[in-house]
Structure 1
Amino acid sequence: MDSFARHIHLMARYNAWANETLLDAIAALEPAAWAAPRGAFFGSMMGTMNHLLVGDRAWFSRMSGTPYPWFTGLDQILHADFADFRQARRQMDETILSLVPTLPTDGDLSYVNSKGVPQVVPWRVVLGHVFNHQTHHRGQVHTLISQSGIEPPPLDLLYFPLGWDA
């Protein structure tokens, strides 16, 4: 496995840990905090976390060459119920963990974007984007948690507990 592939595998494991850690913090809030509008780009914790799930499902459908007819938009709410969302997020993270080691890190991915436009993007850019996108929006939810009255958990890669085997 080349160094980029090892790095992406580390990012997949970190991603699953960071998602679970963030969801633990959300679970500690009053149930209404999940869907409360807070002025974020996707409105709420529920909206933002669903956006991440939509994005991951779309990207991994593209990467595996499978259609995603369920897609209606980047602001789609797949799971309004927190417990249902958490289960779906865990399943997606397990899918990511199983697929990442099988994906190429060289060459290009050809796909059709959500607007129906054909795209060709290097695999390394796509794989980096998937995890960067997660970090970006988890940071927004992190802020929303702090606005809810509790201290959000540290999510920096340096806190990831599974070691430095990158």
Structure 2
Amino acid sequence: MLNENAILLELFRHNLWASGVTLEACRDLSNEQLATEVAGTYGRLDQTLVHLARAQGGYLRTLADWQPGEEHRLEMTEPFPGVDRIAAHLRFTGERLIEIARSASANRVLEGSWGDEPYRLPEWVVLLQVAHHATEHRQQIATMLTSLGVEPPEPDLWAYWDSIEGTRG
């Protein structure tokens, strides 16, 4: 029988895998394609990728007081840092989130401030928001890829299961 932490672990393993296949689909896009914007999405494709990575780092900061080093600082104002840098950031933060999920507690409360706003909320809210937020933006990226005539990946849980089936006992 799976306990809550085992389920969270799979959720975050899926998140890491899904972000990886999404970034792989963007690897060969031109700068012009990366500048694509589709109504109803976050913004340009390159900006959405940066936003996805920055947000995941922000959630990690909230959960573990992580302070990013220079290699993990991503700004919306600089030129697009490239798919490889975004992928490395998502891989690093995704692996840390898996570690956090191992010891997550339904009773743990996080306190701090987000900008100038204080917060006090259960850890599980932030953990589930990480997955929800990433899924939302990966879907938007898939929409933009489709608009470019690029076959988007299938990053759902069925595809994840197919990718790991037989790899674990």
TM-score, scaled to structure 2 = 0.80
* Corresponding position of 2:143: 143
* Corresponding position of 2:16: 16
Q: Tell me, which stretches of 5 or more residues in structure 1 are unaligned?
A: none
Q: How does 1:83-162 map to 2 (within 5 A)?
A: 83-114=84-115, 116-160=116-160, 161-162=163-164
CA contact (8 A) 2:38 2:144 kept: yes
Distance 1:104 1:93, change over 3 A: same
CA RMSD in angstroms comes to: 2.9
Q: For 1:21-56, what per-residue CA distance to the aligned partner results, in whole angstroms no more than 9, with x for missing partners?
A: 111111243353223344454322211121111111
Question: Percent identity, aligned pairs only?
Answer: 21
One-letter identity of the residue aligned with 1:94:
E
User: Shift in Å at residue 104 of structure 1?
Assistant: 2.7
Aligned residues: 161
One-letter identity of the residue aligned with 2:104:
L
CA contact (8 A) 1:34 1:82 kept: no
Q: Tell me, which stretches of 5 or more residues in structure 2 are unaligned?
A: none
- Are 1:53 and 2:63 matched, yes or no? no
One-letter identity of the residue aligned with 1:82:
V
Q: For 1:130-166, what per-residue CA distance to the aligned partner results, in whole angstroms no more than 9, with x for missing partners?
A: 111110111100101101112212111111022498x
